[in-house]
Amino acid sequence: MSTRRFSGLGLVVVGAVGGVLVSLGITAAAQRGEPLPLKELQQFANVFAAIKSSYVEPVTDHKLINDAIKGMFSDLDPHSTYLDAEAFKEMEAITQGGFGGLGIEIGSEDGMPKVIAPIEDTPAARAGILAGDIITHIDGKRTKGMTLNDAIKLMRGEPKTRIELTIVRQGRDKPLVINIVRDLIKVRSVRSKMLDNHIAYVRIAQFQERTAADLVAQLNTLGAKAPPKALVLDLRNDPGGLLDSAIGVSSAFLKPDVLVVSTKGRVPSSNREYFAKPGDYMRSYIGSNGSADYLSKIAPWSKTVPMVVLVNVGSASASEIVAGALQDHKRAKIIGNRTFGKGSVQSVLPLTDDTGIKLTTARYYTPSGKSIQVTGVDPDIAVDDTAQGNLFRLPREVDLQRHLVNGETAEEAAAADTKEDKTEPKMFEFGGADDYQLLQAVNFLEGRPVKKMDPALVVKADKAEPAGAKGKPAANAKAGEAVVPKEVQPADKTAPAAEKKSPVTPIEPIIERYRLTPGGLIKTP
């Protein structure tokens, strides 16, 4: 969200209950063309008055109203929610790419936070936090059983404040206690580098307000001396973000004016088609006032060079829009695992200067008219996270309670993998030398065979390792020597089952901006 504050809102508070009820009721009635539900509103007022006057302990008006608003979302889909002052501020910080914290991507393992990766040049990275570290205590508080969001809230805080983490690290007999001073974390949503054989690698970690513009700058830098011969776009574990940003990123690689995504909802303004043109991706760009189209000077090779998009179970929302658009237009091959399956758009509707609601207002569809809600984007070539199998464990949209149904395809819950793993896939750095999926993407771009996983490594590890001796090399493999795998074609049905599931990173909504007025919803520019 932008730091620009919303003004001219249509909510006039007249008393703790009546003003809110009447204002919301008038707005709802204007949208539906139906009379106010006066009987139900009176019942709500009676309950409010009863609790206020007779509950065993005093309850403030503010708490009762806030809890009542939260209750209205309890049976809606999991991405619709009330944004209190704290949540509203956090959403602003995340979409702008800055917040006070440590600088780590975390997931969950055995009910405790697990470091997916430290972000470079942040307090966590400088303090020596490593991928794979398990956080057992935060300032002395046990994290076992703590929700991921609660752990994140504890680790975030004002810059220059101190925090103590107790971690368990593989290969260490005793826990480590690490003291870190929080700092302002400016998340770089786009990173890039040139791989061997002049193949460009670009990773997008999150879709923020400047992501598409930053992408253009880095693509131009990568091709400053000579155009790359191929490109890998990495969207793995990217939880999504802003709709405009997803349209801009897609437009960087597609021909002008082609369809990127369409949305359909109950409100007429939610029924739209978005194309690869400035009017759609520059709508709310923070530098759009009088500034030129940031795609106008993009290097021409970005629209023609052979391209692979890497995705996994953690690729959601805006990531899926980009992957779906590039796949439908046959601009890129999608490699990795089936994506999360969040095919809905959330509108942020401000209620006051520092509160609002995030409401699911539409489903989105790829250029071919396909909804990926629940189903996700299927890769053209399936490749596991690591040579030993899948690493990231995350429930997909289909596993979330009250998720929206697709309506176009039969729905099946994600199958639980009941097999006990004989090997523990090793944590790796996206874009690093041990990034197995990236290696397979390079193999594809250079015309070499692509392997789903390394069955020889897994089989030999199974035979060589006694129970509980995870992480040791296969007995018949020399130290430092890679076990050469037998090729597994992408369509091989004997390959291991789908990923296991436990939270990795919160899924970011696809966000559009509206104002809530007595006349209905008005899209903000």
Mean pLDDT of 390-407: 68
CA gap 119, 202 in Å, rounded:
16
Pairing of strands 510-517, 520-523: antiparallel
Which part of the chain is CATH 3.90.226.10? 190-261+268-342+367-443
Q: In which band, very low, low, confident or very high, does the pLDDT at 312 lie, cut at 50, 70 and 90?
A: very high
In the chain, the amino acid numbered 133 is D
pLDDT digits over 142-196, tens only? 999 887 768 888 998 888 999 999 999 988 889 999 999 998 877 778 999 999 9
Mean pLDDT of 201-219: 93
373 vs 489, which has greater pLDDT? 373
At 267 the pLDDT is 83
How is 305-334 classified by DSSP, letter by letter?
S-EEEEE-TT--THHHHHHHHHHHTTSSEE
Give 231-248 as a 3 state SS string. EEEECCCCCCEEHHHHHH
At 25 the pLDDT is 42
Contact 322, 235 (CB under 8 A): yes
At 12 the pLDDT is 20
Which residues, in sequence order, are CB contacts of 173 under 8 Å at separation 6+? none
At 444 the pLDDT is 97
CA gap 381, 490 in Å, rounded:
5
**pLDDT beyond 90 at 50:** yes
Question: Within 10 Å of residue 94's Cβ, how many Cβ atoms?
Answer: 18
Which part of the chain is CATH 2.30.42.10? 98-186
Give 421-489 as a 3 state SS string. CCCCCCCCCCCCCCCHHHHHHHHHHCCCCCCCCCHHHHHHHHHHCCCCCCCCCCCCCCCCCCCCCCCCC
467 vs 304, which has greater pLDDT? 304
238 vs 381, which has greater pLDDT? 381
Mean pLDDT of 194-222: 94
Q: Can you say how many angstroms the Cα of residue 141 is from the centroid of all Cα atoms in its chain?
A: 27
426 vs 460, which has greater pLDDT? 426
At 419 the pLDDT is 41
Q: How many CA atoms lie within 13 A of 135 on its CB side?
A: 35
Contact 125, 193 (CB under 8 A): no
**pLDDT beyond 60 at 335:** yes
At 390 the pLDDT is 85
How much of the chain exceeds pLDDT 70, in percent? 70
Considering only the C-alpha atoms of the chain, give the largest distance between any 2 of them, rounded to a whole number of Å.
Answer: 78
Contact 166, 137 (CB under 8 A): yes
**pLDDT beyond 80 at 62:** yes
118 vs 510, which has greater pLDDT? 118
At 94 the pLDDT is 62
Q: Can you say how many angstroms the Cα of residue 252 is from the centroid of all Cα atoms in its chain?
A: 20
Which residues, in sequence order, are CB contacts of 449 under 8 Å at separation 6+? 443, 487
Contact 13, 62 (CB under 8 A): no
Multiple choice CATH, 190-261+268-342+367-443, 3.90.226.10, 3.20.20.70, 3.30.1490.20, 1.20.140.10: 3.90.226.10
292, containing H or E segment: none
R_g over Cα of the chain? 24
At 380 the pLDDT is 97
pTM: 0.68
341 vs 257, which has greater pLDDT? 257
At 158 the pLDDT is 84
Mean pLDDT of 401-423: 53
Mean pLDDT of 215-243: 93
502 vs 207, which has greater pLDDT? 207
At 356 the pLDDT is 86
504 vs 271, which has greater pLDDT? 271
At 152 the pLDDT is 82
202 vs 491, which has greater pLDDT? 202
At 462 the pLDDT is 47
Q: Can you say how many angstroms the Cα of residue 455 is from the centroid of all Cα atoms in its chain?
A: 30
**pLDDT beyond 90 at 31:** no
At 46 the pLDDT is 93
Say which of 317, 319, 344, 347 is annotated catalytic.
317
At 460 the pLDDT is 54
Multiple choice CATH, 98-186, 1.10.3470.10, 2.30.42.10, 3.40.50.720, 3.40.50.150: 2.30.42.10
Contact 316, 323 (CB under 8 A): no
Question: Within 10 Å of residue 506's Cβ, how many Cβ atoms?
Answer: 13
**pLDDT beyond 60 at 140:** yes
pLDDT digits over 106-117, tens only? 777 778 888 866
CA gap 424, 465 in Å, rounded:
11
Mean pLDDT of 83-90: 77
- CB burial of residue 447 (10 Å; 0-12, 13-18, 19+): exposed
SS3 285: coil
The chain-wide mean pLDDT, for the chain, equals 77
Q: Can you say how many angstroms the Cα of residue 204 is from the centroid of all Cα atoms in its chain?
A: 11
**pLDDT beyond 90 at 266:** no
Q: How is residue 397 written in tokens?
A: 């949209």
pLDDT digits over 453-508, tens only? 877 776 554 444 443 443 333 333 333 333 333 333 333 333 333 333 333 445 56
328 is catalytic: yes
Say which of 328, 384, 435, 454 is annotated catalytic.
328
Say which of 80, 270, 319, 342 is annotated catalytic.
342
Question: Cα separations (Å) of 277 from 259, 362, 417?
Answer: 9, 21, 44
Identify the weakest region by mean pLDDT among 19-33, 94-108, 188-202.
19-33
At 453 the pLDDT is 86
Identify the weakest region by mean pLDDT among 43-52, 202-211, 377-386, 420-429.
420-429
Mean pLDDT of 331-347: 91
317 is catalytic: yes
67 is catalytic: no
CA gap 490, 383 in Å, rounded:
7
Which residues, in sequence order, are CB contacts of 413 under 8 Å at separation 6+? 398, 399
396 vs 316, which has greater pLDDT? 316
**pLDDT beyond 60 at 28:** no
